[in-house]
Structure 1
Amino acid sequence: MPEMTFTVRWPDGAVEDCYSPSLVVHDHLDVGGTYAVPEFVDRCRTALGIASDRVRAKYGFACTASAASLDRIVSTAGRHSDRGVVEVLTMHPDLPKESS
């Protein structure tokens, strides 16, 4: 299962790397995308929940690193206004290219 990191800029300018045990975050966030803080948290909660479920299905246990990443996101979001905007700066690795 390929893991990934995604880097975001919070409304106060702080930059943070976040972890996912799955590439599913690509389905919920876009590089260069901007999201109101509550929307960003909701999208991360969904994506990291799916990622953890995939780990559970494959290995028989949830991903604690995914849960820790979500906890950090929720904690940081709590320090910002709901009207603040989070920008997704990078996602690594990129999604594999489909062959034609």
Structure 2
Amino acid sequence: MPEATFRVRWPDGSTDACYSPSLVVHDHLAPGAEYPVADFTARVGAAMDEASDRVRAKYGTACTSAHATAAGVRSRAARFSADGVVRVLSIEPPLPGSTR
């Protein structure tokens, strides 16, 4: 199953690389886009739930890495106001056929 890494800049200017066990993160986040912290957290949670469901469908068990990514993002996001802005710097690899 293809996996991805998405790099983000938090409202304080710090950056993180976050793991996704699936390229589904492309369905929820866009490179270069900015999201309020609360929206970003919800999008990552939805993406990681979907990624974990894909892993469960293929391997028969939920993906603990997806849950860890969502928990890490929630923990980090709790340090900022809900309307602070998170910028998605990149998502690697790009989707096949993408011009990004």
The structural deviation recorded for 1:47 is 0.6
Task: State the partner residue of 1:5.
Answer: 5
2:6 aligns to what SS in structure 1? strand
Structure 1 runs not aligned, ≥5 long:
none
Give the equivalent residue in structure 2 for 1:21: 21
Q: Tell me the SS of whatever aligns to 1:61.
A: coil
The sequence identity of aligned pairs, in percent, is 56
Indicate the RMSD between aligned Cα atoms, in angstroms.
0.9
Deviations 1:10-49 (A, max 9, x none): 0001100111110001011100000000000010011110
- Runs of 4+ with >2 A deviation: none
- Return 5+ residue gaps in structure 2 as ranges: none
Partner residue, 1:42: 42
Deviation by residue 1:40-97 (Cα, 9 ceiling, x = unmatched) = 0010011110000000000000111111111110000000011100000010000011
Q: What is the alpha-carbon distance in structure 2 between the residues aligned to residue 71 and residue 82 of structure 1?
A: 16
Whole-angstrom CA distance in 1 between matches of 2:85 and 2:8: 10
User: Matches of residues 1-100 of structure 1 in structure 2 within 5 Å?
Assistant: 1-97=1-97
User: What secondary structure does 1:54 align onto?
Assistant: helix
